[in-house]
Amino acid sequence: MPEESGRRSVSLIAWLSADVVSFALGAVVTHFALLREPISQVSVQAFFASPFWSTASVGLVCFVLGLGFAYVPFSWYRSDANRDLEIKYRTLREKTDALRERADALRERTDSRRDRAEAFRAPPSARAVAPQESPPDEPPYSEGGDGPQDIAAVISEMSAAIKANLREPGSKGPMDVDLKQALRQKPSSE
Amino acid sequence: MFKVATANLSAISDAELDIRLQALSVDLAIAGERIEPGPAARKRLRQVFRGVVLTVAGILFAAQTGGLTLLLCVAGVAGMIDVLEEDAAAVKLQFRLSSDLERYNGAYESIAIEKANRAW
């Protein structure tokens, strides 16, 4: 911006110098070649007092005022256009940001799903190390990890114990049967 | 400047598509900042008003001052030329931003369509 302003000043000075030089050249040419009399005889005061200048000044003033008035609506129009452009840019940017956020969320979801799948595919020793994969509280009867046959045996033993308990007249009621004890006894009985 | 090849968007990976989306967002932010703010236009309007007043005053008082006030006309005209020059640059920038906006719109549409095609 300072460079442009410097160039503008130089252009202005060059323009004024060219005006002065051309006026001087015109005076010299007029004095020595055409009029054969000094140019200082031309009166500036008389020129400004003449009817020509009166008419010309009115015309110039109207022209300059017209330029100023014409600039105002153009300026307003351009301000509106700039505001409209700003709104359009902001809207498009918001849409782009929303799309990007959706893409980010989707990527995160995909990554976490992939991580979970990889952890599932990992060997059991690695899975045991992972804190999410180990169950927090395992019941004591499943510690042995014996399988479905043992569970069936436990259930049959439980039902037998309950029946025996019911058959005895002086024994405790069915609610007092210690199921946990029966369950724990199963591995030792094996 | 954001250059998007809309024809081969389907050939690029998801990560590349996300990078393009990110670049588009950044470019939009930069271009949005380049839009001329309202105060700059108002300042130019004030400068034009000042130039008109100086020029008119110089012309009107030239007869009484023997043409000395024509120097005011020089200052006023120089100010108006400055303003018109800045104004032309602002109009050029505005046209360029408008055409850029159309390009950005096209890029966004193509990326959004590609994202939708890839089944979110």
Q: What is the mean pLDDT of residues A137-163?
A: 62
pLDDT value for A49: 86
**Min Cα–Cα distance to chain B from A88, Å:** 8
pLDDT value for A189: 47
pLDDT value for B38: 81
Per-residue tokens: A78: 């351009």
CA-CA distance, A31 to A82, in Å (whole number)?
57
Contact (Cβ atoms closer than 8 angstroms) between residue B6 and residue B112: no
| Nearest one of A114, A91, A88 to B14, comparing CA atoms | A114
A61·B115 Cβ contact <8 A:
no
Q: Is the pLDDT of residue A154 over 70?
A: yes
Altogether, the residues listed in chain B come to a count of: 120
| Nearest one of B4, B6, B5 to B113, comparing CA atoms | B6
Q: Which residue has the tokens 């979970």?
A: A116
Choose between B70 and A29: higher pLDDT.
B70
Q: Which of B44, B66, B112 sits opposite A48 (nearest CB)?
A: B66
Q: Which residues on chain A are in Cβ contact (under 8 Å) with B48?
A: 68, 71, 75
DSSP string, B32-75: HHHSPPHHHHHHHHHHHHHHHHHHHHHHHTHHHHTTTTHHHHHH
A48·B112 Cβ contact <8 A:
no
Q: What is the mean pLDDT of residues A43-52?
A: 83
CA distances from A31 to A2, A25, A36, A37, B86 (A): 43, 10, 5, 6, 43
CA-CA distance, A104 to A110, in Å (whole number)?
10
From chain A residues 118-157, the ones with a CB under 8 A of any chain B CB are none
Q: Which of A71, A92, A93 sits opposite B48 (nearest CB)?
A: A71
The string of pLDDT tens digits covering residues A66-107 is 999 999 998 888 889 999 999 999 999 999 989 888 888 887
Q: Which residues on chain B are in Cβ contact (under 8 Å) with A93?
A: 25, 28-29, 32
pLDDT value for B50: 95
Q: Which of A53, A54, A93 sits opposite B25 (nearest CB)?
A: A93
Q: Which residue of B has its CA nearest to A88?
A: B101
Q: What is the mean pLDDT of residues B86-109?
A: 91
CA-CA distance, B64 to A154, in Å (whole number)?
125
Q: Answer positive or negative: Cα dihedral of A81, A87, A93, A96.
A: negative
pTM check: above 0.80: no
Q: Answer positive or negative: Cα dihedral of B17, B21, B22, B23.
A: positive
Establish whether this prediction's ipTM goes over 0.85.
no
**Min Cα–Cα distance to chain A from B118, Å:** 11
Mean pLDDT of chain A: 73
B18·A100 Cβ contact <8 A:
yes
Per-residue tokens: A174: 């069915």
Altogether, the residues listed in chain A come to a count of: 190
